[in-house]
Copies of this chain bind each other. A is one copy, B any other.
């Protein structure tokens, strides 16, 4: 077969796979947002059946043959990048034997189920045996993937979420931050203490008003409701497919700020997806790059753009319009709320200064667990020691400690680092964007995100997976990801002269 014909066949095959993936995203969204309790068992069958069909199609030996034949085709750079992504997907999927795929699926599902109770009861021992099984299977998976991809086992797991990242590069970045944090945090907390307490909004805040404001702000940022929806679910997320992006938010009547920031976070994710290169829709190269870049886009909106004094000056009157004239919604106080720093036990509630400490802890521990240096039974103790070392606080129980996150119990090892890589990437990108386009910051003060969107589309969104994460960052900012850029952002925001 002619090399180019083989490439075209691969495009058609991966278009089909992508379409099944799109259908799966609708089924997932529905399960979280719409489905009555009675549907869960059959929905599980639907997801498993479509995933099984997808896996069969992806690992069909004919795909390997086509990839071999397509190597000789004369491809343009996007086609070549597409073939690269196709090869990566095929290699990863066909490396792991079916029995291991099934064992992982079954065990993580059981473990996740038991984890819910164990977390509620703060009883790590209850879930430890299943987590040990998940860990053993994940270790096996990492070794097999590593062999197939020529990577260390843990790097092969990281590659699942953030292709091209490595534990050694991440460790260098994280250790830099771990060294920076204690002194910086001390100074920030001291300064904050001197400034006195922030004023907390007095609720209740009706959900329909919160929702109206969340919609208005998502639209302000650039979310296109003719190609998307915003709904309610237990935990905020974003999903969807080309032409139909969906954001979910969870409202709390006592706190109008949490849901709004979550909505802006998910809008950042959705904006990335809505601006991927349209001509490559359905192809691997047309997808979002990795989880770190994805998280950088949500955090660039939520943490960078929407916590600037400029945007808060736009936001404060909207709060007062929606909820009345409270002192809490004065610009200065809102800024204090948005820039409040306070070490705590829970990662998802953490401010941007202490958040990386939560991730660094998990990054260290998951490596130790996988290598066997840390026996699973010692995890709770190691967790608490690590928290004490990084943030100077010790969780009173495992619910506030090593049971808080679903990731490991659901089999996701190598995922945590992407949160902080994303936060750091966001800071570096936002600094470069505002330098390159001086009207971005003034624009935010009037709710005008058009310059920022244009820059993001040119430098990130429109590139899809045509280049690596490192190339995206380097091309957009002039250098590779550097923790100093994030640290400079924090200094400027929290300790300005």
Contact = CB atoms under 8 A, between A and B. Distances in A.
B50 A228 contact: no
B22 A244 contact: no
Interface stretch (A23-31, A181-189, A417-425, A461-469): A23-31
B244 A50 contact: no
Contacts of A243: 36, 38-42
A200 interface: no
Contact of A50 (B20, B30, B45, B242): B20
A242 B40 CA distance: 10
Interface in A225-258: 225-229, 240-244
Nearest to A244: B39
Contact of A226 (B22, B38, B53): B38
A200 to B, nearest CB: 33
Interface string A35-76: 111111111011001100100000000000000000000000
User: Which residue, of A35, A36, A41, has the highest number of chain B Cβ atoms within 10 A?
Assistant: A36
A16 interface: yes
Interface in A273-320: 281
Contacts of A101: none
A37 B229 contact: no
Given A23-B27, A46-B26, A36 B228 contact: yes
Contacts of A30: 26, 30
Each complex incorporates copies of this chain amounting to 2
Given A36-B227, A227-B38, A244 B53 contact: no
Contacts of A39: 227, 240-241, 243-244
Interface string A410-451: 000000000000000000000000000000000000000000
A488 interface: no
A227 B16 CA distance: 32
Contacts of A227: 36-39
Contact of A20 (B19, B40, B41, B49): B49
Contact of A26 (B20, B26, B40, B241): B26
Nearest to A48: B19
A34 interface: yes
A16 B49 contact: yes
A9 interface: no
A224 interface: yes
A325 B177 CA distance: 71
Given A26-B27, A30-B26, A226 B46 contact: no
A49 B26 contact: no
A244 B23 contact: no
A195 B49 CA distance: 61
Contact of A36 (B34, B49, B229): B229
A121 to B, nearest CB: 26
A19 B44 CA distance: 10
Nearest to A15: B45
Contacts of A225: 36
B22 A42 contact: yes
A46 to B, nearest CB: 4
Contacts of A36: 225-229, 243-244
A244 B20 contact: no
Contacts of A49: 16, 19-20, 23
A340 to B, nearest CB: 36
A240 B244 CA distance: 21
A297 to B, nearest CB: 20
A38 B223 CA distance: 13
Nearest to A16: B49
Contacts of A240: 39
Nearest to A37: B226
A423 B307 CA distance: 63
A202 B43 CA distance: 44
A30 B394 CA distance: 47
Contact of A241 (B42, B241, B244): B42
A226 B40 CA distance: 11
A35 B29 CA distance: 12
A207 to B, nearest CB: 15
19 contacts: A19-B42, A19-B49, A22-B45, A23-B27, A23-B46, A26-B27, A26-B30, A34-B34, A36-B226, A36-B229, A37-B226, A37-B227, A38-B228, A39-B243, A40-B243, A42-B243, A42-B244, A42-B281, A50-B50
- 5 nearest A-B residue pairs (beta carbon): A39-B244, A38-B227, A38-B243, A23-B46, A19-B49
Given A27-B27, A36-B227, A41-B243, 12 more contacts: A19-B42, A19-B49, A20-B46, A23-B50, A26-B46, A34-B229, A36-B225, A36-B244, A38-B244, A42-B241, A42-B243, A42-B281
